[in-house]
Amino acid sequence: MEILIFIAVIVALIVVHEFGHFVAAKISGMRVDEFGLGYPPRVLVIGKVGETEYTLNWLPFGGFVKIYGEDPSTTTAQTRLATGQAVDPRAFSSKNRFLQALVLVAGVAMNLLFAYALITGALIAGTPRALSDNEIAVAKNVELAVANVLPGSPADEAGLLPGDVILSAEDGHNLLSETSPSAFTKFVSEGGFNKTITLSVRHGSGEEKTIFVRPEAGVISTDPSRYALGVEVATIGVAPLSLDSAIVEGARITWGATVLTAVGLWHFFYGIFTLSADLSQVAGPVGIAGVVGSASLQGAGYLLSIMAIISINLALINLIPVPALDGGRLLFVIIESIIRRPINVRIAQSINAIGFLFLILLMLVVTANDIFKIVS
Residue 343 lies in a domain: yes
Residues facing residue 175 across a β-bridge:
170
114 lies in the same domain as 134: no
Q: CA–CA separation, 116 vs 110, rounded Å?
A: 10
Residue 191 lies in a domain: yes
Domain boundary at 203, 221, 238, which?
Answer: 238
* pTM listed for this prediction: 0.73
116 lies in the same domain as 250: yes
Residue from 307, 321, 314, 312 nearest 269 by CA: 321
Residue 145 lies in a domain: yes
249 lies in the same domain as 155: no
111 lies in the same domain as 207: no
Residue 56 lies in a domain: no
Cβ partners under 8 Å of residue 238, min gap 6:
126, 127, 128, 139, 140, 141, 301
Displacement of CA 242 from its chain's centroid (Å)? 25
3-state class (DSSP) for residue 216: strand
340 lies in the same domain as 273: yes
Helices 2-27 and 285-297: crossing angle in degrees, nearest 10, is: 110
Residue 45 lies in a domain: no
Cβ partners under 8 Å of residue 63, min gap 6:
11, 14, 15, 18, 35, 36, 37, 38, 39
Range of the domain at 301: 2-31+68-126+245-375
317 lies in the same domain as 353: yes
Residue 233's H or E segment, with its range, is strand 231-238
369 lies in the same domain as 251: yes
Taking the CB of residue 237, how many other CB atoms lie within 10 A of it? 20
Q: What sign does the CA torsion over 119, 120, 125, 129 have?
A: positive
Count: domains in the chain: 2
Query: Residues 205-237: pLDDT tens digits?
Result: 678 899 999 988 888 888 888 888 989 999 888
Domain boundary at 186, 213, 238, which?
Answer: 238
What is the predicted pLDDT for the residue at 90? 87
3-state class (DSSP) for residue 66: strand
14 lies in the same domain as 112: yes
What is the predicted pLDDT for the residue at 236? 87
Q: What angle do CA 94, 98, 102 make, to 5 degrees?
A: 100
234 lies in the same domain as 254: no
3-state class (DSSP) for residue 337: helix
| pLDDT less than 70: residues of the chain | 1-2, 72-87, 191-193, 205, 279-286, 296, 370, 373-374, 376
187 lies in the same domain as 283: no
Residue 63 lies in a domain: no
Residue 57 lies in a domain: no
Backbone angles phi, psi at 201, to 5 degrees: -125, 155
What is the predicted pLDDT for the residue at 81? 44
289 lies in the same domain as 336: yes
Domain boundary at 212, 238, 264, which?
Answer: 238
Query: Residues 13-58: pLDDT tens digits?
Result: 999 999 999 999 999 999 999 999 988 899 999 999 989 999 999 9
Residue 50 lies in a domain: no
249 lies in the same domain as 334: yes
Q: CA–CA separation, 168 vs 129, rounded Å?
A: 19
Tell me the Cα Rg of the chain.
26
The CATH number of whichever domain residue 166 belongs to comes to 2.30.42.10
